[in-house]
Copies of this chain bind each other. A is one copy, B any other.
Amino acid sequence: MKKTDGGVTLPSGFTASAFAAGIKKAGRNDMALLYSKTPCHAAGTFTSNLVKAAPVIWDRDLIQEGNDINAVVVNSGVANACTGQEGCGYCKDTAEAAAGLLGVSYKNVLVASTGVIGRQLPMDKITEGVKSLVPLLADGRQAANDAACAIMTTDTVSKETAYTFTLDGKECAIAGMSKGSGMINPKMCTMLAFITTDAAISREMLQTALSEVVEDTFNMISVDGDTSTNDTCVVLANGLAGNTEITEKNEDYDTFKEVLFAVSKDLAMMMAADGEGASCLFEVTVKGAENVKQAKNLAMSVISSNLTKAAIFGHDANWGRIICAMGYSGEIFDPDKVDLTFISEAGSLQILENGLDTGYSEELATKILSEKKITALIDLKQGGCEATAWGCDLTFKYVSINADYRS
């Protein structure tokens, strides 16, 4: 497996385009199209929020019915959530508009939306947008990046990653793009993520791999504890790499899953680091746990604590808040065994040993906590399992962004 510069157009046969349809402020790209002429096996994971946006229901149903997928139409600006029957109809209208131009059925077209909840899609602009997107489809690096930028809302950077690898002698690639900055606390998957691959893999194995990988990547990040109505992660596999199709859990499956994990983890970490208003990526690893569930719940509880996140923003080694967040996680552990170490590019410093303050240097702690990526390593010393969660600090800017979002 080799990490490489590239986006969703890196795997063979995938093209992408972006367009400013005028859904958001004038001139900013707000629609993207992802297309593979070769039909793709598709797998998806979606929000666990009871209130599901219309495009989530549309995509979930198409994928569950086992339809091959050729295209995904994405818009930012309006989430098409809480829009009733009218909003559901607009998903079909959008898919039909794209399907007509691409020569496929509307059942081969996924749609995705992100933005303000409760507004109806401006269908005239969406239809015009689709018309403009089709002739712009291209397979280069720029087209992938344009698409990744067009799906952003409060994101400050686009999020892309790509890897190449080999399956029975054939060169394969998996690449992905995602958006997500606020309302990030995925319970099934995160805001919007689109992953492409030219590896040949059956629909069942693709879904299995995605479902397993999502648990340890997208489901382990939190920006604000708010699980979105629109969370969608879709993988499209068109098989053009020419490898023998993966149809069972064998060595090739393991290789594929390893790369899919790397792509998903990269995208998840990029989203956490770009959390609304964030000044740093905050990584929490819990090791020495009795089981993975315990490690995950403890790591997620720390990463989600407003008080801990505000302390990280203040470069303050206020470890009491970390122990407090572990304590209310619902998991049982022995507080008197806990070791805690802060790690960043500026160094490593043990803060707690067996639940008690080590008498560490506050000055050095503040230095370590002033970097762009900060890791809290928690050792429960109770077992051999571990898990990692990713979040960010809580800043003035988070409040500012979310107090003013619609104005």
Contacts and interface: CB of A to CB of B under 8 A. Distances in A.
Interface of A: 48-52, 79, 81-84, 116-119, 182-183, 185, 187, 224-229, 304-307, 310-311, 313-314, 316, 318-321, 323-329, 331-333, 335-336, 355-357, 394-396, 398-407
Contact of A399 (B183, B328, B336, B398): B398
B306 A355 contact: no
Contact of A225 (B49, B79, B305, B355): B305
A306 B225 contact: yes
Contacts of A229: 320, 323-324, 327
Contact of A404 (B49, B50, B314): B314
A319 B220 CA distance: 27
A291 to B, nearest CB: 16
A51 to B, nearest CB: 3
Nearest to A407: B316
Contacts of A310: 398-399, 401-403
A126 B311 CA distance: 28
A358 to B, nearest CB: 11
Given A333-B50, A356-B84, A227 B399 contact: no
A370 to B, nearest CB: 12
A153 to B, nearest CB: 13
A318 B226 contact: no
Nearest to A52: B327
Contacts of A400: 396
Nearest to A403: B314
Contacts of A332: 50
> What 7 pairs between A and B have smallest CB-CB spacing?
A117-B320, A314-B403, A51-B327, A310-B402, A227-B328, A49-B327, A50-B327
A300 to B, nearest CB: 13
12 contacts: A82-B357, A84-B336, A84-B356, A117-B318, A118-B357, A226-B324, A227-B324, A229-B320, A307-B402, A314-B405, A314-B407, A396-B396
A51 B310 CA distance: 21
Contacts of A356: 82-84
